[in-house]
Structure 1
């Protein structure tokens, strides 16, 4: 059973829009949402992009890949060479690579990956049920 790449790319785009909205409207959101939702959504987006790329991979493998990628990005924030600092100063570089290591980001990434994996599992189960019913 494979995932629809288009569906997962659209979900990833919607997640990006939601994540950017949490940054843009941070001042009017409750503190916890303003502080952590962007990181949760970032990790969910990573999951969705991996799921779209490897559309036949099991949920657990996609989740592991998203967790490894997210951890690598977070650990890279401990590295402060001038060239990577310059990349992080750009809008896209800052959004993708972040700025400074935070333990709380790891918890947010775990939550985002878990939410995306639950969504993925639900979508795949629903698709499988439809196929069996046909």
Structure 2
């Protein structure tokens, strides 16, 4: 399967908007959703970004690479040198690198990437039937 870069770029931008919106409107979301939605959307953005970069990569491999990237970023939050904490203190640095390690974030990343993987596999299956 060859992914359409325009569609994956559009999904990436849409997911960024949804993720920022989930933070801006967090007071309107249930606490159980609010706790994990931003992290799941961040992981979904990584999946669509990976799909954009690697047009012909198999869906499962895209999911594995995306989840691995998310886990590496999460584990990097265990490292607290002054230079990286200064980066994390900026808005963009905090959004990309995060602040502190949480196992629940890895679960949310997994949920976001599994959801994207299943949607893409379902889409591929529908296209094959046509």
TM class, shorter-length: over 0.9
Give per-residue Cα distances to partners, 1:77-117, cap 9 Å, x unaligned.
Answer: 00000110000111111111100000000100000000111
Give per-residue Cα distances to partners, 1:2-46, cap 9 Å, x unaligned.
Answer: 010110111111111111111001111100111110000000110
1:38 and 1:122 mapped to 2: Cα distance? Answer: 24
Residue 124 of structure 1 aligns with which residue? 124
Residue 94 of structure 1 aligns with which residue? 94
Normalised by the length of structure 1, the TM-score is 0.93
2:16 and 2:119 mapped to 1: Cα distance? Answer: 16
Matches within 5 A, 1:39-54: 39-54=39-54
Contact kept, 8 Å, 1:26 with 1:35, in 2: the verdict is no
Query: Could you tell me how far 1:67 is from its partner in structure 2?
Result: 1.0
Normalised by the length of structure 2, the TM-score is 0.95
**Two-structure CA RMSD over aligned residues (Å):** 1.0
1:78 and 1:122 mapped to 2: Cα distance? Answer: 36
Contact kept, 8 Å, 1:3 with 1:124, in 2: the verdict is no
2:25 and 2:57 mapped to 1: Cα distance? Answer: 35
- What number of residue pairs does the alignment pair up? 130
1:109 and 1:80 mapped to 2: Cα distance? Answer: 22
